[in-house]
Structure 1
Amino acid sequence: MTATLSYRIRRAGPLFGAEVSDIDLTAPIDDSTRAALRREFDEHKVLVFRGANLTPAQQDEAMRIFDEPFDHPTAIRHDEHPLVYPYDVRSTGKASSWHVGGVWRTPPFSIESLVFEEVSDLGGHTLWADLQAAYDDLSDPFKALLEGVSAVYDSNAVHYAQGAERGDVKTTVSHPVVRVDKNGRKGLFISTGALRLEGLSDSEGRAVLSYLLEHASSPNYTIRFGWNAGDFVLWNNLATWHYAIDDYGTQPRRYRKVLAASPSEDVRPV
């Protein structure tokens, strides 16, 4: 049976984010529903499908509704599905900082998606912040300053694989701290992994970077989701950043990740 345009949307907050219900992503999706879901994603930036219970192959297919999966050059792969990347925080570590995925490459990941396989009984929520709303609230003179500023990141993809230890930074890549999304809307583009800001002196860069990181993580721009096994979430990685709250101690957290990104300007590890 093919799923048709009968899903429901419940907003997660006034700025962005939504839960999608009454749709079965394990069934084929018709073209009109695919187009509608892409419009929902463009509007809401973060979509959550509760109890989707996708297999690795179905997660790959669900990503293709929105964009083409990305072949990560260094990530640990699923044994049978090479575009699916398994994570278990007991071995890979936790991502408990505000960050954007794929800043090691140009362009960074366009979309990230997760299917949760095992979660803690309590805690383990994830936050997202709307980097476009955060940009909107900056003053016009500050926006003008940022137009000529880029953030510098470690460009070694090896350092970003599951459980990898960060070595010395030998090569870097830079990204403008203001970017225009495909809908024409401007937003901040910043991650806590930024090493420095180009276009400013060292002292100016430290002050501006510190302010931007604090400003963009304001609760005014955030939404929050808790998880059950089987939940599926995907987000616009170029317009939001996210934070996995580490309040669950040694409790389990396992999930599968599928990414999307343009292959055209891939930065390979040294």
Structure 2
Amino acid sequence: MTSTLTYRIHRAGPLFGAEISDIDLAQPIDDATRTALRAEFDEHKVLVFRSANLTPAQQVEAVRIFDEPFDHPTAVRHPEHPLVYPYDVQSTGKASTWHIGGVWRTPPFSIESLVYEEVSELGGHTLWADLQAAYDDLSEPVKVLLEGVSAVYDSNAVHYAQGADRGEIKQTVSHPVVRLDRNGRKGLFVSTGALRLEGVTDRESKALLPFLLDHASSPNYTIRFGWNAGDFVLWNNLATWHYAIDDYGVGPRRYRKVLAATPEQS
């Protein structure tokens, strides 16, 4: 069994994000180390494990350290494990916008994770932005206003499937634009897929929504990671949003995704 607390942590930036080394996630993890890793995740929000080289089953178990893996209703499944979803951007397309995963459900995904299988030699970095730091920098009057505001999204999971042709939006779901995370901090919660804001007038929504999206994507709140095959990353999907930079042209980008989420709320 992996020895307790033998890993090393290297911060990626002053606000959030970290690389963890000297731990083998392919091996069983004892309870004390699990607890410590969960604390690291709550603090840093994005954790990167270089050259983890996890199999599909090992990736699922690594995510299970932090939360329960999610059975996605529309995702294409990996032949080796039903909770693993393979992506090849040459066939599935790229997601080069700031976004939060799983906004079609309540609650959205708590965690997203990737194991990279093939990446371009140059480019293809990923950005994350700290939505809690973005919230902290809002003025108090704006914070008060946003407490009663929600963002509206398409709630049809089929429209979020790989390569899906998004048809007419017939059903929606709303999420408060301010949420309290399990680490005790409030943060913005808004994605570029938002259709409008509720709790304000249409004109106010048209002014507020672009402001929030622009504010949350400020470089002041971001970190950046580049990738090699075998790298494993997971992030707090409820406290950050991310952007996969499309600067690698027709170069390769293949990865496996495992999600985590709590049961849907009625």
TM-score normalised according to structure 2 size: 0.98
Asked if 1:8 is matched to 2:18, the reply is: no
Deviation at 1:116, TM superposition (A): 0.2
CA distance in 2, matches of 1:110, 1:175: 14
**Could you tell me which residue of structure 2 aligns to residue 135 of structure 1?**
135
Instruction: Report the AA paired with residue 28 of structure 1.
Output: P
Superposition pairs of residues 56-205 of structure 1, within 5 angstroms: 56-205=56-205
Q: Secondary structure at the match of 1:234?
A: strand
Gaps of 5+ in 1: none
Q: Is the 8 A contact 1:75 1:162 kept in 2?
A: yes
Deviation at 1:3, TM superposition (A): 4.2
Superposition pairs of residues 256-267 of structure 1, within 5 angstroms: 256-265=256-265
CA distance in 1, matches of 2:165, 2:130: 29
**Could you tell me which residue of structure 1 aligns to residue 254 of structure 2?**
254
**Could you tell me which residue of structure 1 aligns to residue 38 of structure 2?**
38
Q: Is the 8 A contact 1:3 1:24 kept in 2?
A: no
Q: Is the 8 A contact 1:84 1:257 kept in 2?
A: yes
Q: What is the RMSD computed on CA atoms of the aligned residues?
A: 0.9
> Deviations 1:102-160 (Å, cap 9, x if unpaired)?
00000000000000000001000000000000000000000011011000000000011
> Deviations 1:10-37 (Å, cap 9, x if unpaired)?
0000000000000111111111111110
> Deviations 1:47-72 (Å, cap 9, x if unpaired)?
00000000000000000100000001
CA distance in 2, matches of 1:50, 1:110: 22
CA distance in 1, matches of 2:231, 2:80: 21
Asked if 1:239 is matched to 2:239, the reply is: yes
Q: Is the 8 A contact 2:105 2:264 kept in 1?
A: no
**Could you tell me which residue of structure 2 aligns to residue 49 of structure 1?**
49
Instruction: Report the AA paired with residue 230 of structure 2.
Output: G
**Could you tell me which residue of structure 2 aligns to residue 214 of structure 1?**
214
Gaps of 5+ in 2: none
CA distance in 2, matches of 1:265, 1:90: 35
Deviation at 1:184, TM superposition (A): 2.0
**Could you tell me which residue of structure 2 aligns to residue 227 of structure 1?**
227
CA distance in 2, matches of 1:253, 1:137: 35
Asked if 1:28 is matched to 2:28, the reply is: yes
Instruction: Report the AA paired with residue 196 of structure 1.
Output: R
Q: Is the 8 A contact 1:104 1:156 kept in 2?
A: yes
Deviation at 1:164, TM superposition (A): 1.3
CA distance in 2, matches of 1:264, 1:196: 22
Q: Is the 8 A contact 2:156 2:172 kept in 1?
A: yes
CA distance in 2, matches of 1:57, 1:162: 21
Instruction: Report the AA paired with residue 237 of structure 1.
Output: N
Q: Secondary structure at the match of 2:220?
A: helix
TM-score normalised according to structure 1 size: 0.97
Deviation at 1:264, TM superposition (A): 3.4
Deviation at 1:202, TM superposition (A): 1.0
> Deviations 1:193-232 (Å, cap 9, x if unpaired)?
0000001111110110000000000000000000000000
Q: Is the 8 A contact 1:18 1:44 kept in 2?
A: yes
Deviation at 1:191, TM superposition (A): 0.2
